[in-house]
Amino acid sequence: MRRIPVCIPSLGKKEYSYILDCLRTNWISSSGRYINLFEEKFSQYCGRAYGIATTNGTSALHLTLLALKIVPGDEVIMPTFTIASTAFAVIYCGAKPVFVDSEVDTWNMDPSLIESKITKRTKAIMPVHIYGHPCEMTPIMALARKYGLAVIEDAAEAHGAEYMGQKAGSFGKVSCFSFYGNKIITSGEGGMVLTDDKRIAQRCRRLKNMSFGQKIRYRHEEIGFNYRMTNLQAALGLAQFENIETLIKKRRADALLYNRLLSETKGLTLPVERPNTRNVYWMYALLVNKDFGLSRNELMNRLKRRGIATRTFFIPMHQQPILRKLRLISKERFPVAEDSAKRGLYLPSGSGLERREIEYICDCIKRTRRTT
Ligand SMILES: *Cc1c(COP(=O)(O)O)cnc(C)c1O
């Protein structure tokens, strides 16, 4: 058995031919037909009017907060259990991330804990659809309406996921996606901002392109950024997009196979798919319980010795040394996030994974358990 990395993308003939087309036609920088096509097609797929391609998911988040005029003194509510990008984007704006604990089964931000975090300074709520399972958007949207807050979805892990039949990334005022190599579809590096708000879309376009003057190009009225995606990346992204439903079906089928093969194994908590949702299983994530007989780290080491790569869950934001140093966190505890972070890992999950590899991985997990 070859070594099994956590994620291999599926790249095909179309990816080659679109990229070669960029090279042949000299459209290798950030103008060109693939950018527009990718923005159009992906925003349409998510049910949104505007798509603004960016250099990566982190810059998409930053650009969104800039366009929404999040400034020092503002607070933005988000899960503590997320990747640093979500919190860093808020910090880039000089604003304060305010953290919320997770749900035990989906690891998403627990909507019932949001309201107590809202203050006069709160400007936005940023739900993150963790590992491909959409957040409970109904209560989140209701709270946002009640308090006049913007909702910014971090949908970087949830391309094509659905809540109540509606796509992740179509609920908030703005939503952000990443197309990093391990995401459901990839452009190598890349990201996108989606919105139905024309003014926000225009602000994002200006800010991502150095805020060049509208009448006189080199006369700037505002600090801008170079967050432009290249045509080469968009070519890759478009080729991937044209295959998105197949890629999602593959991830879902792999997750179901994992579920089936691991369902009898004692001591593991497997990922869920709540009613009325479509989980796209970006990563097949699970928890190792006490009665498994081995700790999470021990299991990961055993699998590594058999050539199987895994990753731990995120370390919650309220436990990040840099946030402590910046005095952005208090002594508050977040028991669910802390517990899942200690016990959680994800297994190889990319769309390039083969059926016999999943069988081998599950076999190794079961054997590991028996031999302890
Ligand atoms: C991957 C990811 C990002 C960041 O995307 P990059 O393209 O790596 O900058 C942001 N948020 C979440 C939830 C992610 O998983």
Kindly state whether residues 180 and 309 are assigned to the same domain: no
Asked whether the whole model's pTM tops 0.75, one would answer yes
Strand partners, 194: 51, 175
Per-chain mean pLDDT for the chain? 97
Q: Whose CA is nearest to atom 12 of ligand 1?
A: 156
Average of per-residue pLDDT across 309-337 = 97
Average of per-residue pLDDT across 190-208 = 98
Instruction: Please give the structure tokens belonging to residue 360.
Output: 């081998």
Phi–psi pair at 2, nearest 5 degrees: -70, 165
Residue 291 banded pLDDT, cuts 50, 70, 90: very high
Kindly state whether residues 142 and 267 are assigned to the same domain: no
Kindly state whether residues 60 and 153 are assigned to the same domain: yes
Kindly state whether residues 270 and 162 are assigned to the same domain: no
Q: Whose CA is nearest to atom 5 of ligand 1?
A: 57
Q: Tell whether ligand 1 has an atom less than 6 A from the beta carbon of residue 56.
A: yes
Q: Tell whether ligand 1 has an atom less than 6 A from the beta carbon of residue 127.
A: no
What CATH number does the domain containing 130 carry? 3.40.640.10
Is residue 255 within 8 A of residue 271, CB to CB? The reply is: yes
Kindly state whether residues 253 and 232 are assigned to the same domain: no
pLDDT of residue 83: 98
Average of per-residue pLDDT across 225-230 = 98
Kindly state whether residues 273 and 208 are assigned to the same domain: no
Q: Which candidate, 84, 72, 151, 165, places its Cα nearest to that of 118?
A: 151
CA 169 to chain centre: 11
Kindly state whether residues 211 and 64 are assigned to the same domain: yes
pLDDT of residue 210: 97
Q: Is residue 4 part of a domain?
A: no
Length of the chain: 372
Kindly state whether residues 292 and 228 are assigned to the same domain: no
pLDDT of residue 74: 98
Q: Tell whether ligand 1 has an atom less than 6 A from the beta carbon of residue 88.
A: no
pLDDT of residue 370: 64
CA distance 213 to 247: 41
Q: Which candidate, 311, 315, 314, places its Cα nearest to that of 350?
A: 311
Average of per-residue pLDDT across 252-268 = 97
Q: Is residue 8 part of a domain?
A: no
Q: Tell whether ligand 1 has an atom less than 6 A from the beta carbon of residue 130.
A: no
Is residue 40 within 8 A of residue 52, CB to CB? The reply is: no
Which of 241, 267, 292 is the C-terminal boundary of a domain?
A: 241
Kindly state whether residues 108 and 235 are assigned to the same domain: yes
Q: Is residue 272 part of a domain?
A: yes
CA distance 151 to 174: 7
Q: What is the CA radius of gyration of the chain?
A: 21
What range does the domain containing 324 cover? 244-370
Question: Structurally, how many domains does the chain consist of?
Answer: 2
Residue bearing tokens 């093969």: 261
Q: Which amino acid is at 323?
A: L
* Per-residue pLDDT reduced to its tens digit, 90-141: 999 999 999 999 999 999 999 999 999 999 999 999 999 999 999 999 999 9
Q: Is residue 7 part of a domain?
A: no
Phi–psi pair at 325, nearest 5 degrees: -60, -35
Kindly state whether residues 226 and 279 are assigned to the same domain: no
* Per-residue pLDDT reduced to its tens digit, 161-187: 999 999 999 999 999 999 999 999 999
CA distance 146 to 150: 11
Q: How are strands ordered across the β-sheet holding 277-278?
A: 166-167, 162-163, 277-278
What CATH number does the domain containing 279 carry? 3.90.1150.10
CA distance 260 to 257: 5
Q: Tell whether ligand 1 has an atom less than 6 A from the beta carbon of residue 128.
A: yes
Q: Which candidate, 70, 35, 69, places its Cα nearest to that of 55?
A: 35
Cβ atoms < 10 Å from Cβ of 312: 14
Which of 222, 241, 260 is the C-terminal boundary of a domain?
A: 241
Q: Which atom of ligand 1 is nearest to the CA of 182?
A: 1
Q: Which candidate, 33, 84, 89, 39, places its Cα nearest to that of 192?
A: 39
Residue 327 banded pLDDT, cuts 50, 70, 90: very high
230: Cβ contacts below 8 Å, ≥ 6 apart: 28, 29, 30
Q: Which amino acid is at 70?
A: I
**Inter-CA distances, 361 with 131, 256, 300, 344, 357, Å:** 19, 14, 11, 16, 6
Q: Is residue 6 part of a domain?
A: no
Kindly state whether residues 18 and 129 are assigned to the same domain: yes
Question: Is pLDDT of 371 > 80?
Answer: no
Kindly state whether residues 101 and 250 are assigned to the same domain: no
Question: Is pLDDT of 80 > 60?
Answer: yes
Which of 241, 269, 293 is the C-terminal boundary of a domain?
A: 241
For ligand 1, the distance from its centroid to the CA atom of residue 158, given in whole angstroms, is 11
74: Cβ contacts below 8 Å, ≥ 6 apart: 93, 95, 96, 121, 122, 123, 124
